[in-house]
Every structure is written in structure tokens, then in C-alpha cells.
Amino acid sequence: MTKPISIAIIGASGYTGAELIRILLAHPHVKIAKLTGDSQAGKEVGDVYPHLRFKGLPKLISLEKLDYNGIDLVFCCLPHGTTQSVIAAIPEHVKIVDLSADFRLFDTDVYAKWYGHVHKAPDLQLEAVYGLTELVRDEIKSARLVANPGCYPTSVLLPLMPLLQAKMIESEGIIIDAKSGVTGAGRSVKQANLFTEVNEGISAYGIGNHRHSPEIEQGLTFAAEKDVIVSFTPHLMPMNRGMLSTMYVKMRGRHNVDELRITLQKQYSFEPFVHMLPPDATPSTQQVRGTNDCVIGVFADRVAGRAIIVSAIDNLVKGASGQAVQNMNVMFGWPETTGLQLSAVFP
């Protein structure tokens, strides 16, 4: 057995950081060497997350105390806008999987427009690989910096990109109605995310201007080979984790839903984490809770010539930490399923 690589998690006190720890504890080729969490520096991980107590994990330290000597890979789980300068200071021998939005958009002007400030590391942006693993794994193999996709884009791009590339659906008029658990908003205290604010209710947010919109459109534009603009509305659901995206598309020519389903089945038939459901089965978040899976269903709309595509993922796993580990596996030449053979938690 080869010597495990040493990894550091920057921002380990957040939900994605904690989920990375949970997954990596079962990974045979990884040693968790350093964990940063400025707001919790000096504490044991088990004091912040009791479910991770008794795991022999290093204490949380501040970012300024992180020494990269001996570190092979860093997972960066900081909020957008704070990551570019941090990653720019990481030594070149260290590989990086960034879970923020800071390197997902190829065009730095588009980034500035949507995130409200100039990109602070444009040279690094040029070398970043967008890590939608199933569709760009060859580029990930040789990458030093992988920009882990957002949760909503992952749930949308996996089903729609192959259909656009096959010219089976129109690029105009795509409508995306997506729903996510509260963990998608992060762990910081916000009034809108208090139990009494979220429980027993559903609310739309980021209507017409959610920051995942340009990331979704970037992927669809690449697949369609023409500019794509979508109508995308996310919703907050009274649940901890999970994401369900419902996409309404117009089929091209005489294509039908069976052909769409067959195309996606062929695309993902050998993929360990993307699964097409039979025609009579509907995707649900319960099917993927705690896993790195994405399940997809294709259905006929009552409107002639239109199809309804539904996908479900766990926003913390396939939508964040699980896909990050999957990308790490590709970067180091390990089987993609290593450490990720997770069964859904039910009920």
C-alpha cells in the first residue's frame, strides 16, 4: 500500500469542511494533517462537531498558522471572495480543490459583475479546471487547481449538457426550478435561516439574479456552442440537506422523451455516481441523502414537444464535498469511488 497523502482543509469548521472530514476519515489513501477554522481556532473538532469526536483529528488552527510543508493537497472551503488571495499564496507543489465560487467562472469580467469585486488572481484563473468530474475528468487528471462546481450547477449540468451537445433540446427557453436544504446557506448565523423562519415553509430567493446562474449558463453555452440564457429560480426547503432540480426544456425536431432518456443512459451507463431512473420512478432527495450520487428522471410534459427533467443530489456531497473528493481521486490516479461508496441514509 502506498503512503497516504497529507491533506489540509481550510475552513474546516463549516458544513462542507465537516462533510469532507466525515468522508476522508474512511479514505484509505489520505491523512488529515491540518485543519483551519479561524472562528474556532484552538478548539478540538469534536467540540465544534460532536459527531466527529474521538476520531484523532488535529485541532483547528487559524489560517495564518497553517504550514504547507509536507502537505500534498488542500481543500479550500472558504466563502467566495476570500479564496483568491489565499490560494495565490499556496506553494506550487501543493494541489488544490477549491469549493468556493472564486475560480468557477472562466471570464473574470463575468465574475466581477456577479460577485461585486475584481478577480484578485486572474493568472490562477487561467490554469483552473472546472471540476464537473463526469464531463471533464481528462483535464482534471493533470490539474493543479480544480474549481469544484456549485451544487445547483451540478444538479443542472449533468442532465442538460449531454442533451445540448447531442442537439436534442433547444438552447432557448430553458426553465429551472430548484430546491435546496438549509445547509446550502452555510453555517454562519443568519436570521432567515433560524428554525422558526425556515420550518413549515418554502421560499424562493435570488430570483432572477442568483450567483449560480452564470455558472449554469457557462456550462450550457459550452455544450450548445452558442450563448444560453436560462430562467433559474432556487427555493429554500425546510430540510437539512438535499437538492431537487426540475428542468423544463423544448425538444428539437422530432425527438421524444424516450430518446432523451436513452441518450443520458448511454452517457452515464459506466458512471458510478450518475444514475438514470426508469420511466415510472421519480427522483427524490431521500434516494441520495449522504451519498455522492445524482439520480435523474425524464418525463413527457403535457405541452407537446416539451420534456421535464428532474435530478436529485445531496448538496453537501455530490454538490460539494463528495465531488471534491471525487476530483481528488482523479488528480491522484485513484479509482473515483475510493472513499465514496456511500449508501443513502434513510429514513
Q: Percentage helix, strand, coil, to 5, in the chain?
A: 35, 20, 45
Nearest to 328 by CA among 32, 12, 13, 69: 32
Count of beta carbons in the 10 Å neighbourhood of residue 37:
24
* Cβ atoms 64, 75 nearer than 8 A: no
Please answer whether residues 159 and 247 qualify as being in contact, where contact means their C-beta atoms are separated by less than 8 angstroms.
Answer: yes
Domains by residue range for the chain, with CATH: 5-148+318-331 (3.40.50.720), 152-316 (3.30.360.10)
Cα angle: 332, vertex 162, 183; to 5 degrees: 65
Active-site residue set:
151
- Edge-first strand listing for the sheet containing 60-61: 60-61, 30-36, 5-10, 73-76, 95-98, 145-147, 129-130
Length of the chain, in residues: 347
Q: How many CB atoms lie within 10 A of CB 248?
A: 16
Q: What's the predicted TM-score (pTM) here? A: 0.96
Cell numbers standing for residue 18: 465537516
Please choose, from the candidates 61, 53, 38, 308, the residue with its C-alpha nearest in 3D space to the C-alpha of residue 163: 308
241, three cell numbers: 440537506
Give the pLDDT score at 188: 66
d(C-alpha 162, C-alpha 151), whole Å: 18
Residue 306 to residue 70: CA distance in whole angstroms: 54
| Residue 33 near residue 69 (C-beta atoms within 8 A) | no
How confident is the model at residue 242, as a pLDDT? 97
| 305 within 8 A of 257, measured Cβ to Cβ | no
User: What does the block give as the cell for 278?
Assistant: 426508469
The per-residue pLDDT for 190 is 73
Q: Is 313 exposed, middle or buried (0-12, 13-18, 19+ CB in 10 A)?
A: buried
- Tell me how far CA of residue 11 lies from CA of 150, 233, 328, in angstroms: 17, 28, 17
Mean pLDDT by 10 residues, the chain (347 residues): 90 95 97 95 95 96 96 95 94 97 97 95 97 97 98 98 98 98 74 80 93 97 98 95 98 97 98 97 97 98 97 98 98 98 92
> ∠ CA(242), CA(248), CA(249), 5° rounding?
135
pLDDT of residue 347: 84
Give the CB-side neighbour count of residue 177, counting CA atoms within 13 A. 9
User: 169, exposed or middle or buried, with CB in 10 Å at 0-12, 13-18, 19+?
Assistant: buried
pLDDT of the residue at 194? 79
